Amino acid sequence: MIFPTTTAFYAGLLGLIYAGLSAWVIGGRLTGNVLFGDGGQDGLQRRIRSHGNFGEFVPLTLLLIALYEAGGGSHGWVQGLLIVLLIARILHPIGMLAAANTPRQFACRGGGIIATIAVMTITSILLLLRAG
């Protein structure tokens, strides 16, 4: 098994995005004077869910990719999956801020989560094929 260098690099980038999302939520709490929950503020709720969605999907997806890379998986697959994941996680919060039922909302929010789930699914299948 090798150290998953490529995944580690992208994990660093995604960690910075997560830190930015955390600061975004904190900023929304401070400006809205909300200590707990979302205070009934739609904009803050969107920030909180963008942050939460990232925390729900990215760690497992990175772990799956890292296992694939460490197990000697194709560098092309690793790089491609990580690029798609990075773009998806940038798009998702942009779409969360878009007006309801707009092309931007569907493309960014919908596209971001669909791409994230696709990366998770493809990587899971690649791992199962390698282990089988």
Instruction: Check whether 127 has a pLDDT greater than 80.
Output: yes
Instruction: Check whether 96 has a pLDDT greater than 80.
Output: yes
Instruction: Check whether 1 has a pLDDT greater than 80.
Output: no
Cα radius of gyration rounded to whole Å, the chain: 16
* pLDDT, tens only, 98-108: 888 899 999 99
pTM for the whole thing?
A: 0.92
Q: What percent of the chain has pLDDT over 70?
A: 99
Instruction: Check whether 95 has a pLDDT greater than 80.
Output: yes
C-alpha dihedral, 62 to 87 to 9 to 4, nearest 10°: 40
Structure token digits, residue 107: 């493309």
What integer best gives the mean pLDDT of the chain? 94
* pLDDT, tens only, 13-48: 999 999 999 999 999 999 998 888 889 898 999 999
H or E stretch covering 122: helix 111-131
* pLDDT, tens only, 47-59: 999 999 999 999 9
Neighbours of 108 (CB within 10 A): 21
Sequence ranges of the domains in the chain? 5-23+54-131
